[in-house]
Structure 1
Amino acid sequence: MTLQFSLVAAAPESVDSPCVVVGVYENGLLTSAAARVDGAAGGAIKRQVESGDISGKAGSVNLLFAPAGVAAQRVLVVGLGAQKSFDAARFQKVNIEAARALGRLPLESAVSWLADVDVPGQDAAWRVRTAALAADHAAYRYTATVKPRGAGQPTLAALAFATGAEAQPGLDQAIAIAEGVRFARELANLPPNICTPAYIAAQAQAFAEAHDKVACRVLDHEEMEQLGFGSLLAVGRGSANKPKLVALEYRGGADDAKPYAFVGKGITFDTGGISLKPGPGMEEMKFDMGGAAGVLGAFVAAVKMGLPLNLACVVPAAENMPDGDSYRPGDVLTSLSGQTIEVLNTDAEGRLILCDALTWTARTFQPQAMVDAATLTGACVTALGKHASGLMSKHDDLAAELLAAGEATLDRAWRLPLWDDYQVQLDSAFADVANIGGKSAGAITAGCFLSRFTDGQRWAHLDIAGTAWDEGRKGLATGRPVALLAQWLIDRCA
C-alpha cells in the first residue's frame, strides 16, 4: 500500500486525528508544537520528561494515549537529541523512527509537526521532502511473495505534515521520488526466479506504455550478437535466461536538446560463473541488479516530476551462471567498442556488461552527461562501508554536481581517484585490457576499466555495492541511489 502525503494548517492540540507527532529535545526542551500540546494537556509531556519517561534521546518514542484537553486520540513524542547539534542527518533519523512507531500502531492516519522543526541551512520544502521520503522508506513492506502479516489490522495509509504552503514543491518532489524508490526496491527485492532479464524488460515496457513522452526499446541476444555486443553476451552465455538490453527514453525537454543518460548494471543473479562464489550469502546476489533498479527508479521519479529535460536510461540485463557454454578465465572477448578484453575472473562480470552498454548509450543518444550505477566491487564496501557510494569521474564539475546532490538528499557518495596511475594494473599480454587489476584498489581499477569505454564522454561512475541493500537474510533493497540521481536531474533543470 502506498503512503499518501498531504500538508495541513492546524493547531496540534485541536486537530482531530488518530495521532499527532511532536518533538522534544534532550534536557526537556519542547518544540513549539510539543509545548502547545503540553499546555492543552495540563503539563502531561513535561511530567513525563521530569519523571525520566521521556528522555528526548534522538529517535526515542513515547506514546500518550487520549490525553485530556487534546483532540487527537494519541500523541507520539519523538526524541530529537541535543538541539545544538541537530542537523540534517538527525532530522532524517527522527522522521524514520517516527514513521516506524506509527507503523506499529493500529491507525490509518496521523499528522506530524516534525517537518516544522528547524534544521540549520534547510528550508520548509527540504524538510517536508526529507520527512516524507523517510516516512515512505519506513512504511515500505515487501509482500510480492509473502503473505501479508497482520491482515485486517489498520495500517498507516496517510500522513499529513503541518507546515506552510511554501513546502508544497518539496512534497510534490517527495511523492515522485518515493514512487521511484519503491519501484527500485520492489524490483531488487524480487527473487531471481521472477526478476530475470526478460522481467526487467517487461517492467520497462509496461511503464513506457503507461506514460506519455516515454518510449522503450529492448534488444534481445540475437540483435546484440548482430551488433557486436561480445562482452555483454559472453557473461550471459551460461544462463537459460538470455540477456536483454533495455533502453527507456523520456522526452520532456526541447526536441534538439541532448539527453542525460543513466546506465545501470542489471545482473539479475550472480553466481560468479566459472569463478564460482562461496555458497554462504550467495542468495544476496539477487541484489546484483541494484544499479539497474536504481537508474530505473530515478527514471520513474523524473517522469513523475515531469522534469523539463530529455533522459535516457539503459540497462544491460544478464544472469551470470556456470554452464558448459559459460565464458572462462583466459577467454578474450571483443567488446562493442572493438577493444579486446582478457577475462581473468568471471566474477568481475558487471564491468563486462556495462562496457558494452556504455558504448551503445554514447553512440545511440550522444548524451550531454552519462552516469552509471553498479553494485560493482566488494572493494568499495571495504573502503566505504554501507554509508557512502563510491564516486569516480575524470570530470571535476560532474563529480561536484553528484556529490552535492548526495549531500542534499542524504544519499551520499564519496569521491575516489580515477588517476591514470592505476591503469597499468589492467595491462594484459593477450588483449587490450584485462577485466581485473589485482588485489589492490579494486574499486578504482574497476572504474578505470569502465573509463576506457567512455572516451569523449562526460561520464561518472557510482559503485553502490555497499549502499544498494541491507545485509543479512532479512535485508532489503534500499532504493539508493534514486534520490541522489533524481536530485542531480532537478539541479540540472534549475
Structure 2
Amino acid sequence: MFAIRLTDALDETATWVVPIGSGGPQPVGEPDAEVSALTEQTDGAGQAGHLVVLPRPLRRPIRVLLAGVGDGDEAGWRAAGAAVIREVADDELLEVRLPAGAAQAALRGLAEGLWLGGYRYRDAPKSPRAGEVRIIADNPEAYAESLAQARATATATWFARDLTNTPSSVKNPAWFADQIVAEAAQRPGMTVTVRGGDELLRFGGLRAVGGGSVTPPRFVELSWRPPGATTHVVLVGKGITFDTGGISIKPRDGMKLMKKDMGGAAAVMAAALGAADLNLPVRITALAPLAENAVSGSAFRPGDVITHYDGSTSENTNSDAEGRIVLADALAYAADELQPDLVLNLATLTGANAVALGKRTAALYSPDDDLAKALTEAGAAAGEQMWRLPLADDYVENLRSDIADRISAPPGPGSVMAALFLRDFFGDTKWAHLDMSAPSWAEAHDLDLTKGATGWGARTLLRYLSTLDGR
C-alpha cells in the first residue's frame, strides 16, 4: 500500500486538501480567504464525498481540493478520503489538514478512505500509487493508534480483494492455501494447517463438491493464539474458487463472476491476519473449506447422499447449492474439534440475498439478539451494511428428506432456507451467519469501494473482534 504519514508541518509544494463540513459554508480547518470565498459560492461543498478542485496557477500550493466530510462522522471522512485519492495523480504529494481537536474516528475514517479508495489489484498492469499522503495534525502522536488501526483494516481488505479478484485460471484450492501459508509466515504467533487428500476423509461435503475438478479440495485452518486469551472465536468462510454450478450448471451470465465465490473465505482469512497485525487479545481460528465446483464424470449428482464431518447426512438436490455443503463440514469440524465460544460464518451463498436487500447489504442471521446487534453496529462503523432476517421455524419442515437427515436445497425463501440448513451444524454454540454474495462485488467505483471485489466482511469482523475482551 502507498504511504500515509502523520506530521505537523505543511509543505506548499504539495496539493492541499481542505475538509469541508455540511453544517455551513465555513470550512473545517484554517483555509485562506480565497478558499473560504469559493466554499460560500459552491453548492453542496460539504456533502460527504463531494469534491471541488481549486486551481491556483503560478502560486503555491498549485491547487487545493475542497473535500466534503458531511456531518464529520467517520463515514463522512471515509467518503472524503476515497474521493480525494481518486482525483490526484499517482505521483502527486498530498497533504490533508486535520482540524484542531478532530476525533480519532475522523483520522481513522480519512485514512481508511484514502487506502480503500486507492486500492489496485496487485496484478493489474498499472503501476501502484507512488506519491505520499501526509495528514497534518497539531499533535500527530495522538493519532498514531488510529492510523495503525486504519492500516491494519485496509491491509486486510486489500488482501481479501486481491484473493477474490484473482482469475480462476490462477486461483484454485492449492493456490489459495499457499497464499495463506505465505501471509501467516510473516506474522509471529500465527499457525496454519492445510489438509488435503486422505486428511479429508471425514469431510464428505467438501470432497463431494470438489470431486469433479482436476484441482482437488483443501481445508485451511489459520490460528491466532495470543498468550492469555480465553475467548475463542471461530470464523468460517465459503471458499469455492470457481463455481460452474456442477451438473446443475449455471447459465453463462451466471457463471462469469464466479471467481468471487470464495469471497467469504477471503474475508475471514484476512480478518484473522488483521487481528494478528493489531495484536488483538482474542483467540481466533479461521477455517476455509476450498473447492472448485466443476462439471465432469466424477462430479457429484442431484440425488446423491453426502455424509458430513459430524456423521449426519444431506441429500443433494441441487449441485449449484454447493456452498452450504462445504460449509457444513467446516461448521461441524468447528463444533466437534475446536470448542469455540462463538462462530461467525461468511459466505457468498445465495442470489436471494441480492433480491431481498440489494447490492450493498448483507443478510444477517443469528438467534442471539446481543450478537446480532453488536455485528450490525460493527458493520455500520466499518462502512459495511447488513440487515437481520428471521430464522423462521415455519420452514424447517421443508428441509426433511426421505433418505437423509436433510435436503440441501429445499423450496422456500432461498437465503432463509440456506441459513436454516447451516443452523443444523452449529450445535449449541453462539453463532451468526452472514450471506454476503451481493455486496462482495462492485460494478463500479462507489465511495470506498473500487470496481471489482470489495473484500466485504474483513472490515466488519475486525471491528467486532476489536470490541472483545479475550482475557
Taking structure 1 as the reference length, the TM-score comes to 0.88
Q: Aligned letter for 1:109?
A: L
* 8 Å contact kept, 1:344–1:436: yes
Question: Equivalent pairs: percent with the same residue?
Answer: 36
User: In the alignment, which residue of structure 2 is the partner of 1:249?
Assistant: 223
> 1:56 Cα deviation (Å)?
4.7
User: In the alignment, which residue of structure 2 is the partner of 1:78?
Assistant: 67
Distance in 2 of aligned mates of 1:447 and 1:163: 50
> 1:29 Cα deviation (Å)?
0.5
User: In the alignment, which residue of structure 1 is the partner of 2:108?
Assistant: 129
Distance in 2 of aligned mates of 1:445 and 1:289: 20
User: In the alignment, which residue of structure 2 is the partner of 1:62?
Assistant: 52
Deviation by residue 1:229-253 (Cα, 9 ceiling, x = unmatched): 1111100110001000000111114
Greater mean deviation of Cα atoms: 198-207 or 370-379 = 198-207
State the aligned residue count: 465
Deviation by residue 1:33-72 (Cα, 9 ceiling, x = unmatched): 2xx322xxxx32244346659855543323334478x753
Q: Tell me whether 1:139 sits opposite 2:155 in the alignment.
A: no
| Equivalent in 16, 38, 48 of residue 38 of structure 2 | 48
Q: Tell me whether 1:23 sits opposite 2:19 in the alignment.
A: yes
* 8 Å contact kept, 1:23–1:30: no
Deviation by residue 1:255-288 (Cα, 9 ceiling, x = unmatched): 6x25211011000000100111110252200000
Distance in 2 of aligned mates of 1:57 and 1:485: 28
Q: Secondary structure at 1:492's aligned position in 2?
A: coil
Q: Secondary structure at 1:394's aligned position in 2?
A: coil
Q: Secondary structure at 2:158's aligned position in 1?
A: helix
RMSD of the alignment, in Å? Answer: 2.5
* Structure 1 residues not aligned, in runs of 5+: none
Write out the 4+ residue segments of structure 1 that deviate beyond 4 Å after TM superposition.
25-28, 49-58
Distance 1:7 1:324, change over 3 A: same
* 8 Å contact kept, 1:258–1:365: no
User: In the alignment, which residue of structure 2 is the partner of 1:318?
Assistant: 291
Distance in 1 of aligned mates of 2:12 and 2:214: 57
Distance in 2 of aligned mates of 1:236 and 1:31: 57
Q: Aligned letter for 1:137?
A: L
* 8 Å contact kept, 1:54–1:62: no
| Equivalent in 277, 280, 287 of residue 307 of structure 1 | 280
User: In the alignment, which residue of structure 2 is the partner of 1:98?
Assistant: 84
Q: Aligned letter for 2:110?
A: A
User: In the alignment, which residue of structure 1 is the partner of 2:203?
Assistant: 229
Taking structure 2 as the reference length, the TM-score comes to 0.92
Q: Secondary structure at 2:440's aligned position in 1?
A: coil
Q: Secondary structure at 1:64's aligned position in 2?
A: strand
User: In the alignment, which residue of structure 1 is the partner of 2:150?
Assistant: 174
Distance in 2 of aligned mates of 1:237 and 1:22: 57
Q: Secondary structure at 1:467's aligned position in 2?
A: helix
Distance 1:15 1:249, change over 3 A: same
Q: Aligned letter for 2:107?
A: V
Distance 1:472 1:350, change over 3 A: farther
Distance in 1 of aligned mates of 2:44 and 2:104: 29
Distance in 2 of aligned mates of 1:46 and 1:259: 52
Distance in 1 of aligned mates of 2:348 and 2:160: 14
Q: Aligned letter for 2:302?
A: P
* Structure 2 residues not aligned, in runs of 5+: none
Q: Tell me whether 1:447 sits opposite 2:419 in the alignment.
A: yes
> 1:25 Cα deviation (Å)?
4.7
